[in-house]
Amino acid sequence: MNVLSHAQEREYIVTKSKDTIYGSVTRGTKIFNPAEVKLKFKDEAGNESVIDPAEVKTIRSLNGVDGDSFISTIHDQWFVKRIVDGRIKIYKFMDVALLFISKDDSEITSAEFGGFSPRSKGHAQIKELIKDNPEISMEFDTMKGSEKNILYIINKYNEVEKILPPVN
C-alpha cells in the first residue's frame, strides 16, 4: 500500500503566494562555481525556469540529486533541505554543512550546533525549544550538546509530540 501512495506523489513547488505548481525539479550548478546550487523547474505544460528562492516557500523533490526531500528557502536567497521533520525541523544548506532550525513552522533560523559552534550554545538553543517537555528536557541536561546528541533528542521530542495532544 505504501508503494501505491508513493507512486502517486508528484514533484511540485509552493510559491510565497501559496500557489502549488506541479512539474519536475532538477538541480544544476554553475560551471565555474559548482558549490552554488540552482534548482530548475519544468511545469506540466513543459515550461522551464530557474527557481528563484525569493519566490518559493517549499519544493517537493522525489527523484533528483537530493532524492525524496523537501526543500525550503531562507532569507529569500538560499535553498535548505529538511533533514528532520516534526514540531522541530532541522534544515541543512544544500551546498555547505550549515544547519538551520524552526519550531512549529516558525521562521527558519541559524542553528547554534554543528560545524564550529560551541556545544554550550547548541545546548542552550535546543533546551529553549524543548522546555515544554520536562522529561525530555531533563534527559537532555545529562547529555553533551554535540550535534549527534542534539539530533537524537530532537527526533525523540518530535516522536513524543506526535503522540501527545497539543497543550493550549
pLDDT at 3 over 50: no
Q: What pLDDT sits at residue 35?
A: 57
Looking at residue 165, its pLDDT comes to: 56
**6 plus 52 within the same structural domain:** yes
Residues 14-26: pLDDT tens digits? 999 999 999 998 8
Residue range of the domain that includes 52: 1-111
Confidence (pLDDT) at 2: 42
Alpha carbons within 13 A on the beta-carbon side of 76: 3
Please tell me which of 93-107, 124-138, 139-153 the model is most confident about, judged by mean pLDDT: 124-138
Instruction: Enumerate residues 6+ apart whose C-beta is below 8 A from 83.
Output: 90, 91, 92
Half-sphere exposure of 141 (CA within 13 A, CB side): 8
- What's residue 33's pLDDT? 61
What is the SS3 assignment for 84?
A: strand
The pLDDT of residue 30 is 61
Average pLDDT of every residue of the chain:
84
Task: Write down the pLDDT at residue 145.
Answer: 73
DSSP helix, strand, coil percent of the chain (3-state; round to 5): 25, 35, 40
CA 19 to chain centre: 20
> What are the CA-CA distances from residue 29 to residues 36, 38, 94 (Å)?
6, 6, 11
Each residue's pLDDT tens digit, 41-77: 999 999 999 999 999 999 999 877 778 899 999 888 8
According to the model, what pLDDT value does residue 78 have? 87
Which H or E run includes 36? Answer: strand 33-43
Percent of the chain with pLDDT over 90: 43
The answer to whether residues 94 and 164 belong to one domain is no
Q: Which of 111, 127, 154 is the last residue of a domain?
A: 111
* Shared domain check, 155 and 90: no
Same domain, 94 and 126: no
Concatenated DSSP letters for 50-82? EPPTTTEEEEEESSSTT-SEEEEEETTTEEEEE
Helix (H) or strand (E) holding 141: helix 134-141
In terms of domains, do 121 and 90 share one?
no
What is the C-alpha to C-alpha distance for residues 10 and 86, in angstroms, rounded to an integer?
Answer: 21
- Output the pTM of the full model: 0.80
**Residues 6, 81 share a domain:** yes
